[in-house]
Amino acid sequence: MTKFCDEFGGEIIDGVTSEQILDFLNRITEGTKQQTRHVRYGHLSAFFNFIIANIDPDFQNPCSTPILRKMFKAKPIPAWEIIEKDVIDEIIFRTDKPRDRLILELMARGGMRIGEVLKLTPADVQDRKLTLKNPKSGKRREHVFIPQKVADRLKAYIRDNDIRPDQRIFPICYETARTMVKKAGKKVGIRLRPHDLRRHAATYASRSGVPIEIVSKVILRHANLSTTQIYLGKVPDTEAMRWIENLYA
């Protein structure tokens, strides 16, 4: 909106055309993902709708044209295939290297992103509470909570490898970690990506009865619940029937 005001602030608002809006949005969203394009279009359209609702009901929203709606619509959100707990457990159990097992567990049990795991230092570890500095959300810090058994193994790994407080616990690059995760999945015959483990952490917690607010704000650390709903994936018919049976047993 700041960019819009800088460009159109001196003009009469009802003189702004759809063609100008199209040109403006194309310039400020060049090189961005479709979801970003959709969000910026939505902000601008909401601004014009505010004018209609509160100032001038006869005003015509220049964003409300078929071509603009089509060009800046959101991409369909895919239904993620959620990996069941017994498969995740087998993947972790069959991972012999302590470093790799810990990386997998921090994602699958703590809901961490792979980038967050790779940035961890011993100074960030306070028993079962991990501190994330400069997280993706833009906050100064966030906290991750992990099971006691994982915390004990993590502390033992730091001690056994004599890792200093300011050193990275896992000094490998993202590509090495991604390849490790992929190989771990191949051992049980599935295609596994780092984010699949984070989605598993959220879905398993949700299906185990953890309130959606805890899944969203504590495990995934999302700003809003709608983002969390994407992570939880599609509930299969067999899962739905099992919950109904348990509810009325």
pLDDT tens, 143-196?
A: 999 999 999 999 999 999 999 999 999 999 999 999 999 999 999 999 999 999
Answer for the pair 129, 144: CB distance below 8 angstroms, yes or no. yes
Overall fold of domain 85-247: hpI Integrase; Chain A (1.10.443)
The boundaries of every CATH 1.10.443.10 domain in the chain are 85-247
Q: What is the DSSP letter of 76?
A: P
Percentage of residues in the chain having pLDDT higher than 70: 89
Answer yes or no: 195 catalytic: yes
Per-residue pLDDT tens over the stretch 113-153: 999 999 999 999 999 999 999 888 778 899 999 999 999 99
Active-site residue among 128, 178, 195, 207? 195
Q: How crowded is the C-beta side of 52, counted as CA atoms within 13 Å? A: 13
Specify the amino acid at residue 30.
E
Active-site residue among 69, 94, 136, 234? 136
- Give the model's pLDDT for residue 233: 58
Active-site residue among 37, 198, 199, 221? 198
Tokens of 105: 């567990």
- pTM for the whole structure: 0.65
Dist CA 153 CA 136 (whole Å): 26
Answer yes or no: 38 catalytic: no
Answer yes or no: 198 catalytic: yes
Answer yes or no: 168 catalytic: no
Dist CA 110 CA 136 (whole Å): 16
Burial 162-184 (b: 16+ CB within 10 A, else e): ebeeeeebbeeeeeebeebbeeb
Answer yes or no: 204 catalytic: no
Answer yes or no: 248 catalytic: no
Active-site residue among 113, 199, 200, 221? 113
What is the chain's Cα-based Rg? 23
Per-residue pLDDT tens over the stretch 223-249: 777 767 666 655 566 656 665 676 566
Answer for the pair 174, 118: CB distance below 8 angstroms, yes or no. yes
